[in-house]
Amino acid sequence: MTAALIARGVHLSFGATPALRGAELAVAASEIVAVMGPSGSGKSTLLHCLAGILVPDAGEIVFEGTKLNDLSEAARSELRRDRFGFVFQFGQLVPELSAVENVALPLLLAGVRRGPAIGQAREWFARLGLDGLDDRRSGELSGGQAQRVALARGLVARPKVLFADEPTGALDSLTGEQVMDLLVATAREQGTTVILVTHEARVAAYADREVMVRDGRVTTPAETAVP
């Protein structure tokens, strides 16, 4: 297995409270991995470390041979902007922007001119069953519609890695399945690696592999141990 993203011996505490206790994980390029575990187990903290949002107290995160720990905050921000995509539980759309502007936002932040960025963003609306919703604000969208807009925003720049933190947690079962179908199909098409945090077995079933986080440690089968 060629690992695109690796966590080695990751420890992180918030004050006196340990969140990760030597977590280890290797994710292959284009692999979809579901990270499961009970509330408070450290699964979202691990995702934030893998994405370079949090810096471990000990251990290392390696993305395509680069140690994220060694990068400055500005360099990690640039990496998140240019190479990573994100989908969160409640979408977190910018309420002042239209749906199409929300989707175009990663392209605009990467320096793409507004016209081409909006054009690329509009292509996602028919693809995700959002025809005619381009100019709606987030408050004018249903939960499922808003989450599909958030999914398009996470994938529009063709990221190397998509981090999805409970992407169906605020949706009903049917809408959640639709969002996961779209997420997996698009990730496969683009060759995007996906780190999916969830506590739902039906969502984890979409992944190539499941790992469990308990008490800040990752349980993985022997054959997927970190190289």
Residue 190: partners with Cβ closer than 8 Å, 6 or more residues away: 155, 158
Q: Mean pLDDT over all residues of the chain?
A: 89
Phi/psi at 36 (5° precision): -115, 165
% the chain with pLDDT above 90: 64
Reply yes or no on whether the pLDDT at 2 is more than 70: yes
Grade residue 182 by pLDDT with cuts at 50, 70 and 90. Answer: confident
Q: Looking up tokens 């759309």, which residue turns up?
A: 93
Model pLDDT, residue 224: 42
Model pLDDT, residue 220: 65
User: pTM score, two decimals?
Assistant: 0.89
Residue 201: partners with Cβ closer than 8 Å, 6 or more residues away: 36
Q: What is the DSSP string of 182-202?
A: HHHHHHHHHT-EEEEE-S-HH
Reply yes or no on whether the pLDDT at 50 is more than 90: yes
Model pLDDT, residue 227: 45
200: left (phi > 0), else alpha (psi -120 to 50), else beta? beta
Reply yes or no on whether the pLDDT at 45 is more than 90: yes
Grade residue 59 by pLDDT with cuts at 50, 70 and 90. Answer: very high
- Note the helical H segments in 25-163: 43-50, 73-82, 99-109, 114-127, 143-155
Reply yes or no on whether the pLDDT at 225 is more than 50: no
Residues in the chain, overall count: 227
Reply yes or no on whether the pLDDT at 125 is more than 70: yes
